[in-house]
A and B are shown apart, each in its own frame.
Chain A
Amino acid sequence: MNWTMIGVFLALFVFVTVLGFVAARWRYGDLTQLHEWGLGGRRFGTVVTWFLLGGDVYTAYTFIAVPALVFGAGAIGFFALPYTIIVYPLVFLVLPRLWWVSHKHNYVTGADFVRGRYGSPTLALLVALTGILATMPYIALQLVGIEVIIAALGFHAGGWAADLPLIIAFVVLAAYTYTSGLRAPALISIVKDLLIYITVIAAVIIIPMQLGGFGKIFAAVPHAKMLLAAPPAASLGSYGAFATLAFGSALALFAYPHTMTGVLSGKNPRVLRRNMALLPAYTLVLGLLALLGFMALAAGVDKLPAFASGFQQYKANFAVPALILHSFPSWFSGVAFAAIVIGALVPAAIMSIAAANLFTRNIYREYFRPQCSSAEEARVAKWASLVVKAGALIFVLELPSIYAIQFQLLGGVWIAQIIPAVALGLYTRWWHRGGLALGWLCGMVVGTWMVASLHFAGTVYPLHLFGFTIPAYAALWGLILNLIVAFVFTLIFRALHLAEGQDATAPGDYTGQSAQ
Chain B
Amino acid sequence: MTSSTNGKKRSSWRLLLLVPFIATLWVPFYNRVEPTFIGIPFFYWYLLLWAPLSALITWIVFSRNDSPDNDR
Q: Are B71 and A227 closer than 8 Å at their CB atoms? A: no
> Which residues of B sit under 8 angstroms from A274, Cβ to Cβ?
62
Contact between A216 and B39 (Cβ–Cβ < 8 Å)? yes
| A278-B38 in contact given A81-B24, A273-B71 (Cβ < 8 Å) | no
Q: Across the interface, do B62 and A268 meet the contact criterion of CB distance under 8 Å?
A: no
Contact partner, B17, options A78, A89, A287, Cβ 8 Å: A89
Tell me if B24 and A82 are in contact (CB < 8 A): yes
- The reply to whether A280 and B28 form a contact with Cβ atoms under 8 Å apart is no
How many whole Å from A219's CB to the nearest CB in chain B? 8
Known: A92-B58, A277-B59. A239 touches B52 (CB 8 A): no
Tell me which residues across on chain A come within 8 A of B61, comparing CB atoms: 92
* CB 8 Å contact bits of A64-92 with B (1 = contact, 0 = none): 00000000000100100110111011001
- Segment from A19-27, A182-190, A240-248 that makes contact with B: A240-248
User: In the bound complex, do residue A280 and residue B41 qualify as a contact, i.e. CB atoms below 8 Å apart?
Assistant: no
Asked if B27 and A243 sit within 8 Å, CB to CB, the answer is yes
Is A284 located at the chain interface by the 8 A CB criterion?
A: yes
Q: How large is the interface on B (under 10, 10 to 19, 20 to 34, 35 or more residues)?
A: 35 or more
A residues within 8 A CB of B47? 78, 81-82, 85, 287
| Interface bracket on A | 35 or more
Closest residue on chain B to residue A278 by CB atoms: B55
Q: Residue of A at shortest CB range from B72? A: A511
* Contact between A218 and B62, CB atoms less than 8 A apart: no
B1 in the interface (beta carbon within 8 A): no
Considering the chains assembled together, what is the distance between the CA atoms of A418 and B48 in angstroms?
31
Cβ–Cβ < 8 Å partners of B44 in chain A: 78, 287, 291
The residue that B51 contacts in the complex, of A85, A228, A512, with Cβ under 8 A, is: A85
Q: Is there a chain B Cβ closer than 8 Å to A63's Cβ?
A: no
Complex interface: chain B residues within 8 A of A243 (CB): 25-27
Q: Within A278-309, which residues are at the interface with B (CB < 8 Å)?
A: 278-281, 283-284, 287-288, 291
Closest to A282 in B: B51
A57 within 8 A of B: no
Contact residue among A75, A88, A213, A284 (Cβ-Cβ distance under 8 Å from B43): A75
Q: Which of A244-268 contact B (CB under 8 A)?
A: 246-247, 268
B31 CB-CB contact with A under 8 Å:
yes
Listed by A's residue number, 8 A-B pairs whose Cβ atoms lie within 8 Å are A86-B24, A89-B20, A92-B58, A92-B61, A226-B43, A277-B58, A280-B51, A280-B58
